[in-house]
Structure 1
């Protein structure tokens, strides 16, 4: 039965899996960093001790505002160094098109 079907793994699958892993790890870093900052600044703090910045509680301003701005810069580097531009069209067996499509970064 094993000789009946032949399946050749497309080389783009490995790159796609790497990109998915990088995106997932980015999400985990964002979630953890936001949670740590929010809990570190606001957990078990009495209401009269809460500081406000631009009308927001300080824990919210830093966790949802500052962390967001900082982590909006990180995807630029992720796309620049980990992601590759490749064609999603079906390719002929044996052709290597990973990173060779128009505008590819190699």
Structure 2
């Protein structure tokens, strides 16, 4: 595939947009995890509150974060991302 084809093929535009969506999800996941893990986790151990036997910072950053990210990925994959054919276009 030459450079000319990659500029005109609409699949590249779709792939580029969806790659940025993936980057956005990864950044959101890191900010969520970092905010709760270091925000709530930087308190003294005596100040921790516990949810289901886990420190609140761990519960929110890892358990809730995992569930939230799983739901976001499912929703985005189902409703935002588009299916693209990988078949080569035949020029006539």
Q: With the length of structure 1 as denominator, give the TM-score of the two structures.
A: 0.71
The structure with more radius of gyration: 1
SS at match of 2:40: helix
Q: Name the residue aligned to 1:27.
A: 26
SS at match of 1:61: helix
Residue 8 (1) aligns with residue 5 (2): yes
- Runs of 5+ in structure 1 lacking a partner? 95-106
Between the aligned partners of 1:81 and 1:26, the Cα distance in structure 2 is 15
Q: Please report the RMSD computed on the Cα atoms of aligned residues, expressed in angstroms.
A: 2.1
Q: What is the deviation of 1:70?
A: 1.9
Higher helix proportion: 2
Between the aligned partners of 2:58 and 2:49, the Cα distance in structure 1 is 10
- Runs of 5+ in structure 2 lacking a partner? none
Q: What is the deviation of 1:65?
A: 0.6
Q: With the length of structure 2 as denominator, give the TM-score of the two structures.
A: 0.80
Q: What is the deviation of 1:52?
A: 2.4
Q: Name the residue aligned to 1:90.
A: 88
Larger relative contact order, structure 1 or 2 (CA cutoff 8 Å, min sep 6): 2
Q: What is the deviation of 1:53?
A: 2.3
SS at match of 1:7: helix
Q: What is the deviation of 1:6?
A: 7.4
Between the aligned partners of 2:14 and 2:78, the Cα distance in structure 1 is 14
